[in-house]
Amino acid sequence: MPNIRDLVDYVENNDWAFTQGHRLCPGCNAPMVANWATLAAKSLGYEPVVGVATGCLEVSTTIFPYTSWNVPYIHNAFENVAATISGAEAAYRSLKNRKKIDNDKIKFIAIGGDGGTYDIGLQSLSGAIERGHDFVYILYDNEGYMNTGNQRSGSTPPGADSTTEPIGKASSGKLQLKKSIVDIVAGHEGVYAATAVTSEPWDFMRKMQQALEFRGPAFIAVLAPCVRFWRIPDDSGVEVTKLAVETKYWPLWEYNMGVYKVTKKPKTFKPVKEYITKLGRYNKLMKRPDANEILEELQNYVNAKWDRLLALEELTKDKPLRTKI
Amino acid sequence: MSNLKGWKEIPIGGVIDKPATSRLYKTGEWRVSRPVIDREVCINCMQCWLYCPDMSIEGSIEGKRMKLGEFKMEYCKGCGVCAAVCPVNAIVMKPESEFIDE
Amino acid sequence: MPVKLTVTGAHAVAQAMRQINPDVVAAYPITPQTPVVEYYATFVADGMVDTILVPVESEHSAMSAVVGAAAAGARTMTATAANGLALMIEIVYIAASYRLPIIMPLVNRALSGPLNIHCDHSDAMLARDSGWIQFFTENHQEAYDFTIIATKLAEKENVLLPAMVNLDGFITSHGVESFEMLDDEVVKEFVGTWNPKYSLLDTENPVTFGPVDLFDYYFEHHRQQEEAMNNAYEELPKVFEEFAKISGRKYDFLDLYKTDDADYIMVVMNSTASTAKYVVDELREEGKKVGLIKPQVFTPFPKKEFQKALNGRKGVVILDRAMSFGKEAPLYSLIKSALYEVPSRPKLGSYIYGLGGRNTSPKMIRQAFEDAFNDNLVADEQRYLGLRE
Ligand SMILES: Cc1ncc(C[n+]2csc(CCOP(=O)(O)OP(=O)(O)O)c2C)c(N)n1
């Protein structure tokens, strides 16, 4: 796993793989994910080829004739980054077989927001994983369609205000829990899948390396706050994700061919309410009479989910489901 | 629109044929407050370098040690993440109005 | 030496694909395109080609994957029909605007609904403004030949546009007929190797495909697409010429059948042209000066060729196998508009035929000609062949 020295050394002697001049909001956590993912790959000696789904990261980093990508990059559409990258990966295999290209270092990285991953892009992601393409899919999860102005997605948590399921006099907004996207991906079985957060860069780097080295589809879901629509101060995204881990809201774990592992086990946990009340997007919820009820449900859910993770870890220890993709 | 190129002068297919061209776009103009670092306090851990969402902090390896470099104001959007993640509180955010002369 | 094969049209197309041996094929099955993919999968399974076949989970992903593959420098193909084309249409437009020379046989089928699996051209017309080159083919030989011609044209440096080869669902795709297959080596040499200008795999020269293209450049990029289509029009005669050298078959924008001295001309695309030729022969025997035009190229639209071919005729009947609800039928409206500029305009008649695979008999075709003979053509009236009142 690259350490901070390796990264500094790499950038000093080469360059950033993802560069200055992008137009993401000040304090956005998405560029951290893009930067770390490409830098990890580069510093490990790989040549990343990146695909990005339509969304904030895409629109803000490639406004013609400006691009913030210092590596080959393709955006195709909103729902198809996995399929697009699967095609590029197939081309790589074909051109290598045919001796038209001589480069063993290329690695394919697809990046999508939660809309492009949990919702409209889920089919394309599932197909590409099932076919066993060798690529790393990185989800930057900001829990809503932020590029288009904070509409709800399958990742928006209950009680969070959104413009398509707003909290109003007669509604507590979205009530459904987030889909458990990493479980959905893990359901493909022949896959490496993990969660990560911006407050744990070295956990992310380790998982990124594992994903890059995994010969087949790999998936990392990174909780990456949108400061604007989470209604939090510009400088607080990282701190918020720390709290997400400390409250069991976003446990850090990984799945590798059937084996579950919890990668961070805090000794004590804070109540999930501490996390929720930090975020302005829950302000309206907190004023509602059913706020406590919704919070309690969420607390029960994260508790159960955590216990379940530990049990899965125990149950699957040294018992991979598959050894080959 | 005068310095924009005509249709015969640009690459086809919407391709941007060079990497990292967004460096020509100076996001520093967005800034309303800026980071000021106390080098005496800084321990060169590079946490801010790693976290800066705008890659606007420089870093280097000098001998065996890492060294935090310049904060590039042409790109810094003033988000304050560097100050927030600094483990020794070496960075403070100051209103841009204090630097009007620069 | 060329060989005669007596097979289905789907097989003929798959053979052309085998000879071209693209780097990547990504496809999803849909009747009546399915056998094209199945034959190709068999070629891959038997090691007759070393293409990487990506058996995607939808047509949307088929087009997305070939866009990714083509951007990575691969020669790519897919194939689809009707609902498959509709599902992928978003990316069909993107493929053209990214200037990726993807080749796609489109086995024409009615675009629902209600559901219908049989032939008409409503699917092709869905994509008429997508920026793809569109060829239309009458039979197995043409479907095979144009798959090869399309590859050659699409990859020309001043063209770089994707191309569709239309063949009629079931009638051509599933009917068994003889065609002449060129030698593998001859085709290989004809299409040559594909050397893209930009590739995602060129890590020394990283490029960005598919940026956000706002009001300051989007318009310019679209003007470039128009130029490329104009270039395709300019390049095609040369490609036809070169193809004639290897095959002995000389194509043109329009297949003109007995039109030289014809007073009355019918225009119809794809397999129905065979029936129409039969009717033309019959009418000729009866002393009627009739002829037939079968466009081989729909986009770029051969406007000048139509003007030349139709100027001064007494009557022209145009058959469309698709409707454009509330507007004139697609082929008809284009020909009508082309004739605005000719000095001696013929009388025109618009006929819709064969929707959802409805059989089109010689009698129906004759009926359209009869309207022309009887001076019963009304330019503003849409008529229907084989429709029950
Ligand atoms: C087919 C299609 N439907 C809708 C849109 C509009 N759209 C563009 S980006 C976006 C939301 C993106 O959300 P997400 O994937 O969560 O990424 P974020 O912007 O939050 O980073 C939507 C709805 C589109 N571009 N394409």
Domain limits at C138?
A: 3-247
**Between β-strands C133-136 and C163-168, what pairing exists: parallel, antiparallel or unpaired?**
parallel
Q: Same structural domain for residues C175 and C273?
A: no
Confidence of residue B102 (pLDDT cuts 50, 70, 90): low
Residue B75 belongs to some domain of the structure: yes
Q: Same structural domain for residues C239 and C306?
A: no
Residue B17 belongs to some domain of the structure: no
Say yes or no: CB of residue A229 within 6 Å of ligand 1.
no
Say yes or no: CB of residue A161 within 6 Å of ligand 1.
no
**Which of C218, C247, C276 delimits the end of a domain?**
C247
Alpha helices in C175-217 (DSSP H): 184-191
Residue B55 belongs to some domain of the structure: yes
Q: Per-residue confidence of chain C (389 residues) as pLDDT tens digits? A: 999 999 999 999 999 999 999 999 999 999 999 999 999 999 999 999 999 999 999 999 999 999 999 999 999 999 999 999 999 999 999 999 999 999 999 999 999 899 999 999 999 999 999 999 999 999 999 999 999 999 999 999 999 999 999 999 999 999 999 999 999 999 999 999 999 999 999 999 999 999 999 999 999 999 999 999 999 999 999 999 999 999 999 999 999 999 999 999 999 999 999 999 999 999 999 999 999 999 999 999 999 999 999 999 999 999 999 999 999 999 999 999 999 999 999 999 999 999 999 999 999 999 999 999 999 999 999 999 999 99
Closest in A8, A16, A66 to B61, CB measured: A8
Q: Which two tokens stand for residue C301?
A: 């639209």
A30 to chain B nearest CA, in Å? 8
List all chains that touch chain A, counting a touch as 3 or more CB pairs closer than 8 Å: B, C
Check: CB of residue A132 under 8 Å from CB of residue A64: no
Residue C273 belongs to some domain of the structure: yes
Q: Same structural domain for residues C215 and C304?
A: no
Q: Chain-centre distance of CA A167, in angstroms? A: 26
Domain limits at B53?
A: 42-99
Q: Chain-centre distance of CA A217, in angstroms? A: 15
Residue C328 belongs to some domain of the structure: yes
Return the pLDDT at A325.
81
Task: Report the alpha-carbon distance of residue C308 to residue C301 in Å, rounded.
Answer: 14
Which CATH number is C55's domain given?
Answer: 3.40.50.970
Confidence of residue B101 (pLDDT cuts 50, 70, 90): confident
Which CATH number is C301's domain given?
Answer: 3.40.50.920
Q: Give the residue from chain B lying closest to C161, CA to CA.
A: B13
Q: Same structural domain for residues C61 and C187?
A: yes
**Which of C230, C247, C264 delimits the end of a domain?**
C247
Residue B22 belongs to some domain of the structure: no
Q: List pLDDT tens digits, range A55-73.
A: 999 999 999 999 999 999 9
Q: Same structural domain for residues C203 and C305?
A: no
Q: What is the 3-state secondary structure (H, E, C) of A233-301?
A: CCCCHHHHHHHHHHCCCCCCEEEECCEEEECCCCCCCCCHHHHHCCCHHHHHHHCCCCHHHHHHHHHHH
**Between β-strands C290-295 and C254-257, what pairing exists: parallel, antiparallel or unpaired?**
antiparallel
- Domains of chain A with CATH codes: 4-316 (3.40.50.970)
Number of domains forming the structure of chain C: 2
**Which of C205, C225, C247 delimits the end of a domain?**
C247
Number of domains forming the structure of chain B: 1
Neighbouring residues of C263: CB distance < 8 A, sequence distance ≥ 6? C289, C290, C313, C314, C315
Closest in B20, B61, B80 to A68, CB measured: B20
Q: Same structural domain for residues C231 and C278?
A: no
Which CATH number is B65's domain given?
Answer: 3.30.70.20
Residues of C in contact with B5 (CB under 8 A): 220
Residue C67, classified by CB atoms within 10 Å of its CB into exposed (0-12), middle (13-18) or buried (19+), is: buried
**DSSP state, residue A116:** I
Q: Same structural domain for residues C327 and C363?
A: yes
Say yes or no: CB of residue A225 within 6 Å of ligand 1.
no
Residue C389 belongs to some domain of the structure: no
| Residue for token pair 């129409």 | C276
Residue B21 belongs to some domain of the structure: no
Residue closest by Cα to atom 25 of ligand 1 = A78
Q: Which of A60, A74, A235 to mutate to test binding with chain B, by most B CBs within 10 Å of its CB?
A: A235
Residue A98, classified by CB atoms within 10 Å of its CB into exposed (0-12), middle (13-18) or buried (19+), is: middle
If you compute the radius of gyration of chain B from its CA atoms, what whole number of angstroms results? 18
DSSP string, chain B: -TTSPPTTTS-GGG-B-SS-GGGGS-GGGG-SEEEEE-TTT-----HHHHH-TT--EEEEEETTEEEEEEE-TTT-----HHHHH-TT--EEEEEGGGGTT-
| Residue for token pair 């598919």 | C210
A205 CA distance to ligand 1 middle (Å): 27
Residues in chain C: 389
Mutation to probe ligand 1, out of A32, A78, A153 (largest number of atoms < 8 A from CB):
A78
* Triad B9, B13, B16: Cα angle to 5°: 70
Say yes or no: CB of residue A116 within 6 Å of ligand 1.
yes
Q: What is the mean pLDDT of chain A?
A: 97
What interface predicted TM-score (ipTM) does this complex get?
0.97
Q: Which two tokens stand for residue A176?
A: 């459904």
Compute mean pLDDT per 10 residues along chain A, 325 residues long, and list them: 96 98 98 98 98 98 98 98 98 98 97 98 98 98 98 97 94 93 98 98 98 98 98 98 98 98 97 97 94 96 98 97 88
